[in-house]
Structures are given as structure tokens and as C-alpha cells.
């Protein structure tokens, strides 16, 4: 156990740059590449790949490595978010000081938040005549992107990607954030990570760029990406130079895959070809594993189905009916199908797919299969009428689909007078301007239309009488539990989180 701990070492951060197409992502990456990679090396990159490493000194003057994903807002980054996989350790959100927040900025920020990735906002183009930094900060807050010292905790840097202003500060902030997050990896493990790009080269064959997220890889090993595989005979770094080994956070290009791997796919490495072949054999016998890995194709939650029927015609008809069952956030995917009764091996295959369902039409299930399904809590059902099967599947879809949370405003109160506070409680008086205010509710505290914090209504009085609800147009007094000092003019917003 002690040896295992000793293998954990500091892991260089992998950084993705995201945001609106015209806000300077490519300019920033170009500037960083030109100034932080030795000139002769940068000039020698003939076959450019989708990630590169730079060196920057930390606060102690020690050289530290940072890996940048060189395709801004990379497809692989957003594709994997539903499964919580992290291709990037840190995200930089680029916002132009000239144009402010655009729909693509908001979309990128939502992607970052959904994947729980630490974020730095880079306010770019500060050297432009039309730049307005304060307006940009307000614009960000209006879109619920709250910067440090501006109602939130998201760190930010002012930069000009074109001339390099603030870029050193940005790189230093990345290293500080990486130290806080404490990214570590185990060098003794076989390398694993994700596919950044793949293509067929007419001279070299099928090649793919991988980003290593943990472990190490060296010549003589083998790699599998779902059912695609490759040896490590030809392995190159981001400069296109042949290397014998690589470890976490490094981009590597492998040449010689037997089929084109899927971008965003997860790769695993093995000590030798024999180990890899055993893994691929297991994958072939458990098709649900492959199909589960493909769940992110549509951006929806995938519910795997193993389908059995009495005849080929029945299978085709049922597949068609299942394809008609739609939801905005989930979909059924037939991961395995066949003719005959539900067997014990069908149930074992279902274990590989989260939330897997086994259904049969005009066929029964073996007693061993039923017993194993009950033991493993796998849903197993048989039908002899198609519409009953589809009605049942619609109910299952409704039960299993992801719930979307939305915040709905119940009411607002404007503070007329604020009184003294004791510890974390403060008495205030105000008038309900919209909806209703409810006792014991958690509330937002707004100042000049921006949320500055939250509190809880612990006492509510109307005309010196305690009450649980105060309606619109009525004045009242209340005690709020909050760490903030509330002042006259602030607005208290009562809200509810609704699941849909």
C-alpha cells in the first residue's frame, strides 16, 4: 500500500480554452505556443496535432508543465460531460472586452459547469478602443457568471492575446489553480485517457492523438479504444518527434490502428498484445460495454436494452417501435438482440450497461435467468402484445430519464429599512413588490439586480403579528439569517427549485 502511495505525483494540468468563436481563443493559443515553446522546436512542427505542452515558471521559479488542448471548445470536451469524464482539468472561458457575453459564451460556460471543471475567465481584447472592462464584468454577472470581487469566486485575468498583455499572469494563475486542485497521477499504472483526434493518413495508415490522463505508456505496450486497437511501435510527442515513453497530461500520437477510433473515446493500455486481446475478447462477449461507451453520441442519457424475440420479423418490428419512443433527455439503445428465450448470459451481459433492461417478445425467460436478474436487480420483462410492451417502455423512460432542475421566482420584497444585526441575524422591513414571501424559505439577496448572497427567513411579521406568508403589495418585517449586511434598497427574492 505504501508503494502505491509513493507512485502518486503531481500531475500537470490539461487546459481547454472555450468561448465565442471571435473572442480570441486561437490568438491566445498561438501566442502561448510561440512564446513558451523553444523557437526552433515550434518552427519545426510540421504535422500539427491537437494538443501541446508549454513550460512556465511557478511562484517559486520552478519550471512547470501545462498541456493545452489546441482545438478550442474541443468536441471531445463537451461530448464526455454527461458521463463526468474529464478530458480537461481546467477550462479558460474567453470573453471579449469589446463584445461582452455572447450565446456561445453562455453555452461554453454551461458545459464547463456541467463537467465540474475549475474555470478561469480571460477578459480579452483589453487593448482595443472599444474595450469596456467594467461593462464586461456586469455583463458576465447578468448571465450568472460571477467573478472574484464582483459577487462571485471565479478567478479572472485581463489579457490581450494579440500582444501578450496578461498572458504570463494567466499561466501563473493556471499553475496556482492546479496546485489548489492538487492534480495527481500514478506513474506505475498502464496509461489511460481519451482520443482527441483520429484520421486515416494515406502514407502512414490510421493514426490517433491521445491525451494521457493517468499512468504511463512505453514502446512494446498495446492500446485499445473500444474495439479499435494499436501497438506502440510508432509513438510521437506533440512536436511529431518519436518517443519511447510518455506519462500523464502528455499528448501522444500513435500510428497503426486497425480501425479509426472514435473522437472522445476512452483508451486503455496494456503491457503486451496478449493482455489487450483478452480484453477485446471480453468486450466482444459483452456488447453492452461498447454501446455504453457510445452513450454520449446524442448528448442524451442512454438506457440499454437487450431484446429477445421469437423470430427475425418480430425483432425488426419491435426495434422500429422502440425507435419511436422519444424523450428530450434520454433514449433507448438496443445493445444486444437475438432469437430465443432470455438466458443467464443475457442477464450477465446486462450488468455491463447501467440501467439496462431485458425484454422478450413471445418468449419466456429461463428460471436461472429470472433468479439472477432478481439477485442483481436487473429489470426483466416478457410480452406477447407489442403495444403493451411500448406502453411499459414509455413508463420506464419516464422513470429513468434525467430530471432537469429549474429555479422559479415565488416573490420579491424591496427593503425599506434595515435594522441592527446580532451575529448572523438581521431585522429588516420592506414591501412585497411581486408574488409572495414565505417563512423559512432560503432567499437570494440582490443589490442593484445582482445576487450578492443568500439567507433564510427565520421570522416573518405583518402588522406586528407573526405570519407564514405575506402577499404582494403588503409591508412586513422579517428576521433574516445571513452573513451579509442587508441595506435599504436591497431586494429579497423568494425562489423554489423545480424538477421537471
Instruction: Return the ∠ at Cα 94 (arms to 145 and 39), rounded to 5°.
Output: 150
Answer yes or no: do 13 and 151 share one domain.
yes
| Domain count for the chain | 4
Answer yes or no: do 165 and 197 share one domain.
no
Q: What is the CATH number of the domain that holds 480?
A: 2.40.30.10
Percent of the chain surpassing pLDDT 70: 87
Q: Give the pLDDT band (50/70/90) at residue 40.
A: very low
Q: Give the pLDDT band (50/70/90) at residue 174.
A: very high
Strand, helix or coil for residue 460? strand
Residue 299: the pLDDT is 60
pLDDT digits (tens, 9 = 90+) for 200-221: 777 788 888 899 999 999 999 9
Closest C-alpha to 73, from 59, 63, 52, 87: 87
Q: Distance (Å, rounded) from C-alpha 327 to C-alpha 371? A: 31
Whether the Cβ atoms of residue 455 and residue 499 lie closer than 8 Å to each other: no
Which letter, b or e, does each residue of 282-318 get, where b requires 16 or more Cβ atoms within 10 Å of its Cβ? Answer: ebeebbbbebbbebbeeebbbbbbbbbbeeeebbeeb
Q: Reply yes or no on whether the pLDDT at 315 is more than 50.
A: yes
Beta bridge partners of 415: 430
Question: What would the mean pLDDT of 252-278 be, rounded to a whole number?
Answer: 87
Answer yes or no: do 216 and 162 share one domain.
no
Q: Which residue, 285, 319, 336, sits at the end of a domain? A: 285
Strands across the sheet with 156-158, in order? 51-57, 63-69, 14-19, 90-96, 119-124, 156-158
Answer yes or no: do 211 and 170 share one domain.
no
Question: What would the mean pLDDT of 323-343 be, rounded to a whole number?
Answer: 82
What one-character-per-residue DSSP string does 262-306 give?
Answer: PTT-EEEEESSHHHHHHHHHHHHH-HHHHHHHTGGGGSSEEEEEE
Residue 435: the pLDDT is 94
Q: Which residue, 152, 184, 216, sits at the end of a domain? A: 184
The more confident residue out of 351 and 45 is 351
**C-alpha cell at position 303:** 438506457
79-83, 381-385, 477-481: lowest mean pLDDT where?
A: 79-83
Question: In sequence order, what are the residues at sequence separation of 6 or more whose Cβ sits closer than 8 angstroms to the Cβ of residue 311?
Answer: 339, 362
Q: Reply yes or no on whether the pLDDT at 313 is more than 90.
A: no
The more confident residue out of 313 and 66 is 66
Supply the mean pLDDT for the chain.
84
Question: What would the mean pLDDT of 472-479 be, rounded to a whole number?
Answer: 94
pLDDT digits (tens, 9 = 90+) for 229-245: 999 999 999 888 999 99
pLDDT digits (tens, 9 = 90+) for 407-466: 889 999 999 999 888 888 999 999 999 999 999 999 999 998 888 889 999 999 998 899
Question: What would the mean pLDDT of 24-28 be, rounded to a whole number?
Answer: 85
Answer yes or no: do 243 and 386 share one domain.
no
49-58, 81-90, 99-108, 245-254: lowest mean pLDDT where?
A: 81-90
Answer yes or no: do 255 and 394 share one domain.
no
Answer yes or no: do 416 and 487 share one domain.
yes
Residue 70: the pLDDT is 67
Residue 77: the pLDDT is 46
Owning domain of residue 279 = 192-285
Answer yes or no: do 27 and 145 share one domain.
yes
Range with top average pLDDT, 151-160, 254-263, 343-352? 151-160
Q: What is the CATH number of the domain that holds 64?
A: 3.40.50.300
Q: Reply yes or no on whether the pLDDT at 400 is more than 90.
A: no
pLDDT digits (tens, 9 = 90+) for 110-146: 888 877 889 999 999 999 999 999 999 999 999 989 9
Q: Which residue, 269, 285, 301, sits at the end of a domain? A: 285
Answer yes or no: do 396 and 409 share one domain.
no
For the chain, how big is the Rg over CA atoms in Å?
Answer: 28
Q: Reply yes or no on whether the pLDDT at 294 is more than 50.
A: no
Answer yes or no: do 274 and 344 share one domain.
no
Q: What is the CATH number of the domain that holds 362?
A: 3.40.50.10050
Answer yes or no: do 91 and 154 share one domain.
yes
Residue 286: the pLDDT is 64
DSSP-derived letter for residue 99 is T
Answer yes or no: do 264 and 218 share one domain.
yes
Residue 132: the pLDDT is 94
pLDDT digits (tens, 9 = 90+) for 57-77: 888 889 999 999 865 444 444
Amino acid at each position: 500500500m505504501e508503494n502505491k502511495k509513493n507512485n502518486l505525483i503531481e500531475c500537470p494540468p490539461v487546459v481547454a480554452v472555450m468561448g465565442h468563436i471571435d473572442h480570441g481563443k486561437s490568438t491566445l493559443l498561438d501566442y502561448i505556443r510561440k512564446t513558451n515553446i523553444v523557437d526552433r522546436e515550434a518552427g519545426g512542427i510540421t504535422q500539427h496535432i491537437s494538443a501541446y505542452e508549454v513550460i512556465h515558471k511557478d511562484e517559486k521559479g520552478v519550471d512547470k508543465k501545462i498541456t493545452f488542448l489546441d482545438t478550442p471548445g474541443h468536441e471531445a470536451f463537451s461530448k464526455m460531460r454527461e458521463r463526468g469524464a474529464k478530458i480537461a482539468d481546467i477550462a479558460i472561458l474567453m470573453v471579449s472586452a469589446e463584445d461582452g457575453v455572447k450565446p456561445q459564451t453562455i453555452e461554453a460556460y454551461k458545459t464547463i459547469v456541467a463537467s465540474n471543471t475549475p474555470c478561469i475567465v480571460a477578459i480579452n481584447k483589453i487593448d482595443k478602443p472599444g474595450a469596456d472592462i467594467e461593462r464586461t464584468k456586469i455583463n458576465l454577472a447578468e448571465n450568472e457568471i460571477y467573478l472574484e470581487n464582483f459577487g462571485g469566486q471565479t478567478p479572472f485575468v485581463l489579457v490581450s492575446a494579440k500582444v501578450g498583455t496578461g498572458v504570463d499572469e494567466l499561466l501563473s494563475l493556471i499553475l496556482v489553480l492546479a496546485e489548489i486542485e492538487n492534480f495527481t497521477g500514478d506513474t506505475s499504472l498502464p496509461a489511460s485517457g481519451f482520443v482527441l483526434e483520429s484520421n486515416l493518413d494515406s502514407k502512414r495508415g490510421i493514426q490517433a492523438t491521445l491525451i494521457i490522463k493517468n499512468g504511463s505508456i512505453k514502446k512494446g505496450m498495446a492500446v485499445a479504444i473500444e474495439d479499435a486497437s494499436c501497438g506502440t511501435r510508432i509513438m510521437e510527442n506533440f512536436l511529431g518527434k518519436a518517443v519511447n515513453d510518455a506519462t500523464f497530461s502528455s499528448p501522444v500520437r500513435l500510428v497503426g490502428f486497425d480501425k479509426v477510433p472514435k473522437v472522445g473515446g476512452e483508451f486503455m493500455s496494456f503491457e503486451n498484445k496478449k493482455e489487450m486481446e483478452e480484453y477485446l475478447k471480453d468486450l466482444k462477449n459483452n456488447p453492452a460495454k461498447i454501446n455504453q461507451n457510445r452513450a454520449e453520441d446524442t448528448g442524451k442519457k442512454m438506457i440499454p436494452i437487450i431484446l429477445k424475440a421469437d423470430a427475425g420479423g418480430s425483432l425488426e418490428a419491435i426495434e422500429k417501435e422502440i425507435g419511436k419512443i422519444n424523450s428530450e433527455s434520454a433514449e433507448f439503445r438496443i445493445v444486444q438482440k437475438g432469437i430465443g428465450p432470455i438466458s443467464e448470459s443475457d442477464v450477465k451481459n446486462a450488468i455491463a450497461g447501467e440501467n439496462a433492461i431485458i425484454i422478450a417478445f413471445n418468449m419466456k425467460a429461463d428460471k436461472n435467468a429470472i433468479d439472477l436478474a432478481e439477485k442483481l436487480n436487473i429489470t426483466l420483462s416478457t410480452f406477447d402484445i407489442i403495444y403493451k410492451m411500448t406502453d411499459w417502455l414509455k413508463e420506464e423512460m419516464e422513470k429513468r430519464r434525467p430530471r432537469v432542475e429549474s429555479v422559479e421566482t415565488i416573490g420579491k420584497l424591496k427593503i425599506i429599512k434595515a435594522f441592527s444585526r446580532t451575529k448572523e441575524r438581521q431585522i429588516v422591513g420592506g414591501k412585497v413588490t411581486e408574488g409572495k414571501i414565505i417563512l423559512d424559505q432560503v432567499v437570494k439577496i440582490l443589490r442593484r439586480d445582482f445576487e450578492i448572497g443568500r439567507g433564510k427567513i427565520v421570522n416573518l411579521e405583518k402588522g406586528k403579528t407573526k405570519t407564514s406568508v405575506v402577499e404582494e403589495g403588503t409591508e412586513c418585517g422579517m428576521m433574516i439569517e445571513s452573513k451579509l449586511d442587508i441595506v435599504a434598497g436591497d431586494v429579497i427574492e423568494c425562489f423554489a427549485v423545480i424538477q421537471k
